[in-house]
Amino acid sequence: MLEIYHRVDGPHALEPDHRLLLTHEQRSRARLKTNTVSGEDVGVFLPHGQPLKVGEYLKTDCGKLIRVDGAAEPIVSASCDDALLFSRACYHLGNRHVKIQITERCLRITPDSVLEDMLQKLGLEVHHEMAVFIPESGAYHGISHAHGHDHAHSHDDSLHRHS
C-alpha cells in the first residue's frame, strides 16, 4: 500500500505517478484508505483541518507523486439572471451554513429537498447533475486572523490554523 504523509507545495510540471479520484466528502478527510485510478491501494495520513484540493499533489513515503482529481458526484445546480435574487439565495444558504460552490449566477449544493424547494420558491432554476463539487472554503480559511474591530465574543486561536 502506498502511504501519503506529505503535501507537495507549488505548481507541478511533472506527470504524477498516480491519480486519486475523490468526491468532496473524501477530499475533506485527513485519514482515508482508497485506491488510485490504476487500482493501487493508498492510505492518506495528513494533519486534520485542511481539505485536499482538486489538482493538489501529494507525495508517498516512497517518493511517488500523486495528483488529487475531483470525482463527479450528484449535485444540485441553481441559477438565475437576477444578481439581487442570486445574492439573496447565497445569503439564505450561507445563513444555514450550507456548503456551496459559487460561480457567476450559478450555485451548487449537495442534494437536499428542503433547500431545493427554498431555491425554487426564491425564483431560481434548479436541476440535478453529476459534477465535481468544490465548495467555498470559508471566509477565515487560510486568511490572517487580525481584524481591526471590537466585538463581544472571543476567539479560541487553537481552532484557527495560521500560516
Domain boundaries, the chain: 2-70, 73-131
| H or E, element range at 60 | strand 57-60
CATH code linked to domain 2-70: 2.60.260.20
Confidence of residue 105 (pLDDT cuts 50, 70, 90): confident
Place of cell 503535501: 7
Question: Any idea which architecture 73-131 has in CATH?
Answer: 2-Layer Sandwich (3.30)
Chain segment 25-81, per-residue pLDDT in tens:
999 998 999 999 999 999 999 998 889 999 999 999 999 999 999 999 999 999 999
Name beta bridge partners: 44.
4, 32
CB distance 79 to 95 below 8 Å: no
Grid coordinates standing for 118? 427554498
Alpha helices, DSSP H, located in the chain: 24-27, 83-95, 113-122
